Amino acid sequence: MPHLSERSIFFEAIDLNDPHERRAYLDQACGGDAELRASVDALLQAHEAPDHALDRPPVEVPKIDFPHHIGSKIGPYRLMEQIGEGGFGLVFVAQQEHPVRRKVALKIVKPGTGTKEVLARFEAERQAVAMMDHPNIAKVFDAGVTDDGRPYFVMELVRGVPISEFADAHQMPIRDRLELFKNVCTAVHHAHQKGVIHRDIKPSNVMVTLHDDRPVVKVIDFGVAKAIGQSLTDKTIYTRFFSMIGTPLYMSPEQAEMSGLDVDTRSDIYSLGVLLYQLLVGETPFDRERLDSAGLDEMRRIIREEDPPRPSQRLTTLNARMTTVSNARRLDVKRLTSTLRGDLDWIVMKALEKDRNRRYDSAAAMANDISRHLTEQPIQARPPTLSYQLLKFARRQRVAIATFSLVALAMMIGTGASIWQMRVAYHERDLKEVALREATQAKRDVERFAAVVTEANSLVASAQTHAGSGRWKAAMDDYDRAIELQRNYDLPWIGRAQFFTRLNMWEEAANDYAHALSLGAATDTPQWWGVVALFTLTDHMQAANELCLQLNRQIALHKPIEQWEFVRTCAACRDCMSDQSLRDLAAWTRTELAKPEPPPQWDDGPRPPDRRRHPGFLFEPEGRPLRPPPERMPSDFSRSDFTGPNDGDTDWVGPEPSGSNPRDPGAFDSDQPPPPRSNRTGPPRSPHELPRNVRQYIAGLVHLRIGEHERAIELLEQARDDRSWPASWIVDAPMAIALHATNRADDAADALARSRQSIGEVTAMLSDERNPATKPPWFDFVEFFAFYTEASELIEGTTPIDVPSLEEIRSPVLMQLR
């Protein structure tokens, strides 16, 4: 009996801890039986190996579907036939014996939410539900708990088909669909008047049955969704969220937030909008597959932020399905598109507004608008007016600041921060369904705050438009109002600062920039190009230091500054940057300059005739100057997609900085986002976006700052000696400083003198408004004066007297502002 002996050998062996002893014993016990020996060895190995399945007790018990048999009884109801099954649970036809004998629909809720809570919520709503009496609403009779602890609901039995399926199956024309949908609206309106919100309006809850060949709508599940779904407030029940409510295709933005608060009748209006959308187009506004596959956060973001296409637009994206959809409406594709375009588009989109205040204020109002459309009267929902579009713009901006303003902004502002925290605190309490009212209030506060920010944004947009058309005064007023609205919000400050730079009002610009900086504005955006020089020139040394500190920090965090203009910004201050950071920057410039050059950019393509007059170093291949990018939401510039010269996208010059081109507002209206660009998410482009000598100039500045003066002189000479770049007036002053540092007094004096001679030309150019398109960016001038002043003080020991005062520079514009 080899098996038994194997066992006894095993027992003996495990008692022997010493390996030698054990081996000796095994040798002896097994004798020459190699098979036995191998088998015992395997046993011992298994005995000693860690992580044995048996050592981990089975941790979890599977949930077992308690069988609800046909014929079994639940309370006074006997199950007769299963008619539905889904994420919600099971639906049966059941026979009720008393007090009345009738057939009912019995819905057994899938386990998930606590039974007690479901019933308690239903009880709370029961009275209201009972008061609903409408031919298009299926009554809810009863609710209870099954033996195995699941809540169930007993409802009027509706043997129907979901409305969308019914309409398609019967090839209902648009008009008939609208008539049917109006009945849905009246039913929902009736419930709303009784204080019952449905919360889960979707085709499978809007059934259609035929009565004497006439389709009759029945909205089912009123009061049920609330009982089941209200505690869906947290990510931890993500899976349950989907299983209970199904896909969020019909869910309003405020429901998608799942704050559990504040869902009101207007959420139903939104869902009605989705339903109508589907009846018209055959698809939901957001793609089913996309929402299904998106994670919770992404799904919420889509619902909250993305504008769905209008029904008529959506139709065109259906491709192959388009014909099917049209046929089901007894129209050809073209006719269907034109039927939807206009009124129906606007009716649907009004119901689908993200901001529920902009939706129809009642289901009845929506039904009325549909009636008006059917009788060719003007509808209440209107195509967007200009002011409406401006508001939409502001809302888009709000999207951009969703992360920026509501988090960063709120954090940087005392009041905002406390509101935020209040909201968080309340949110937590709300999870326990406490303090509902206060939480609502807190949320309103946040919304009010967001509304103010939105308004400020729209004022900034309006200001940009005015500035773009040269209406300085109007632009100024809008900026002022935007700032006054919310003084802690940095965007209007930056906007006005840019506006001031446009007007050569450097002192004012510097003040606004400094203020924005103190509010914690993000500075890694092109709006901040050259601002260090501005701070230096206007004697805002603390702000200059702070700005450099931020750029420094970026380098310290190993986020290389791979933008020549930022490097240039850093180099403008004499001792703001740390030595190490400057050395890093210098090394970077050397590496970049050592790279092979693309063909010289300004030698191909036509040039504006006067291009050579200017040191406008920002040339794109066609010789059009690239201006500093637009005032836009800083967050829009988190990607480096604003430089345009060598990406082949030559049409895009960027919007005007503060409307620097009054005669030609350009292809860009400031209330529109820039045209979509194919390479937005493409790889970071090479830094060869500036002409070589401009890069040499910037490299020269950096080397000057780290004290490598010979290198600086060499680079600056190269920059100046390229005769295709007539930039002497900007190069001379830093050159003078470098020469001075290497004790070449005469050469330094000469360079300074050359710089001085340029003052007249530069000043004239500054106030020359004749050709704004080719005028160098404002910071060229600022940098020129800053370096000239620095060089004069260094070499001659005195503040130069020949620099025009800031007052002189700006006075011509001040007249226009009055």
Partner 1 sequence: MTSEVTQILNAIEDGDRQAASQLLPLVYDELRRLATQKMTREPAGQTIQPTALVHEAFLRLVGGEDKPNWDGRGHFFAAAAESMRRILIEAARRRKTEKRGGDRQRIDLSSDDVVAHPEDSETLLALDDALKKLDNEDPELARLVELRYFTGLTIDQTAEILGVSPRTVKRNWAYARAWLRREMEGDVSV
Smallest gap from residue 65 Cβ to partner 1 (A): 6
Query: Which residues partner with 145 through β-bridges?
Result: 151
Query: What is the spatial distance between Cα 706 and Cα 578, in angstroms, rounded to a whole number?
Result: 9
Smallest gap from residue 57 Cβ to partner 1 (A): 6
Closest CA to 42 of 15, 18, 4, 13: 13
In this complex, which beta carbon is closest to partner 1, that of residue 236 or of residue 375? 236
Q: Note whether 336 and 355 are within 8 A (CB).
A: no
Query: What is the spatial distance between Cα 233 and Cα 243, in angstroms, rounded to a whole number?
Result: 14
- Binding to partner 1 by residue 173, rule CB under 8 A? no
Length of the chain: 818
# chain residues binding partner 1, by CB under 8 A: 41
Q: Which among 104-112, 416-424, 769-777, 794-802 is the span making contact with partner 1, rule CB under 8 A?
A: 104-112
Q: Note whether 654 and 674 are within 8 A (CB).
A: yes
The widest CA-to-CA distance across the chain, in whole angstroms, is 115
- Binding to partner 1 by residue 150, rule CB under 8 A? yes
- Binding to partner 1 by residue 43, rule CB under 8 A? yes
Q: Which of 171, 239, 293, 377 binds partner 1 (CB under 8 A)?
A: 239
Q: Which of 68, 74, 108, 110 binds partner 1 (CB under 8 A)?
A: 110
Locate 224 and state its tokens. Answer: 């049920």
- Binding to partner 1 by residue 60, rule CB under 8 A? yes
> What angle is formed at CA 658 by the lines to CA 652 and CA 660, rounded to 5 degrees?
70
Q: What would the x/- binding string for partner 1 be over residues 620 to 659, using CB under 8 A?
A: ----------------------------------------
Name the residue with tokens 């700005």. Answer: 547
**Residue 202 labeled ligand binder:** no
In this complex, which beta carbon is closest to partner 1, that of residue 240 or of residue 688? 240
In this complex, which beta carbon is closest to partner 1, that of residue 237 or of residue 541? 237
Name the residue with tokens 């005995």. Answer: 47
Locate 787 and state its tokens. Answer: 């370096």
- Binding to partner 1 by residue 587, rule CB under 8 A? no
Q: Which of 52, 290, 330, 473 binds partner 1 (CB under 8 A)?
A: 52
Smallest gap from residue 35 Cβ to partner 1 (A): 14
- Binding to partner 1 by residue 76, rule CB under 8 A? no
In this complex, which beta carbon is closest to partner 1, that of residue 75 or of residue 608? 75
Smallest gap from residue 425 Cβ to partner 1 (A): 23
| Alpha carbon separation from 238 to 242, 244, 248, 290, 306 (Å, rounded) | 7, 10, 12, 17, 21
- Binding to partner 1 by residue 50, rule CB under 8 A? no
Helix, strand, or coil here: 403? Answer: helix
- Binding to partner 1 by residue 149, rule CB under 8 A? yes
In this complex, which beta carbon is closest to partner 1, that of residue 165 or of residue 355? 165
Q: Which of 21, 27, 65, 298 binds partner 1 (CB under 8 A)?
A: 65
Q: Which among 84-92, 120-128, 654-662, 732-740 is the span making contact with partner 1, rule CB under 8 A?
A: 84-92
Query: Which residues partner with 339 through β-bridges?
Result: none
Name the residue with tokens 């729209």. Answer: 458
Say which DSSP state 408 is in: I
Query: What is the spatial distance between Cα 569 and Cα 519, in angstroms, rounded to a whole number?
Result: 20
Smallest gap from residue 204 Cβ to partner 1 (A): 14
Smallest gap from residue 90 Cβ to partner 1 (A): 8
What does residue 257 show for φ and ψ, rounded to 5 degrees? -65, -25
613: left (phi over 0), alpha (psi -120 to 50) or beta: alpha
Q: Which among 8-16, 470-478, 573-581, 654-662 is the span making contact with partner 1, rule CB under 8 A?
A: 8-16
Locate 425 and state its tokens. Answer: 């605190």
- Binding to partner 1 by residue 237, rule CB under 8 A? yes
Q: Which of 17, 34, 35, 46 binds partner 1 (CB under 8 A)?
A: 46
| Alpha carbon separation from 97 to 73, 76, 443 (Å, rounded) | 11, 7, 49
- Binding to partner 1 by residue 54, rule CB under 8 A? yes
In this complex, which beta carbon is closest to partner 1, that of residue 63 or of residue 101? 63
Q: Which among 46-54, 162-170, 290-298, 482-490 is the span making contact with partner 1, rule CB under 8 A?
A: 46-54
- Binding to partner 1 by residue 240, rule CB under 8 A? yes
- Binding to partner 1 by residue 596, rule CB under 8 A? no
Sign (positive or negative) of CA dihedral 635, 639, 640, 645:
negative
Q: Which of 95, 193, 209, 243 binds partner 1 (CB under 8 A)?
A: 243
Q: Which among 132-140, 148-156, 300-308, 492-500 is the span making contact with partner 1, rule CB under 8 A?
A: 148-156
Q: Note whether 217 and 163 are within 8 A (CB).
A: yes
Residues with Cβ within 8 Å of 313's Cβ and at least 6 positions away in sequence, in order, are: none
Positions annotated as catalytic residues are 200
Q: Where are the alpha helices (DSSP H) in 224-362?
A: 224-229, 238-245, 253-256, 265-281, 288-293, 296-305, 311-316, 321-327, 333-340, 343-351
Residue ranges for the known binding site for ATP are 107
Residues that bind partner 1 (CB under 8 A): 3, 7, 10-11, 14, 42-47, 49, 52-54, 57-66, 85-87, 110-112, 114-115, 148-150, 236-237, 239-240, 243
Residue ranges for the known binding site are 107
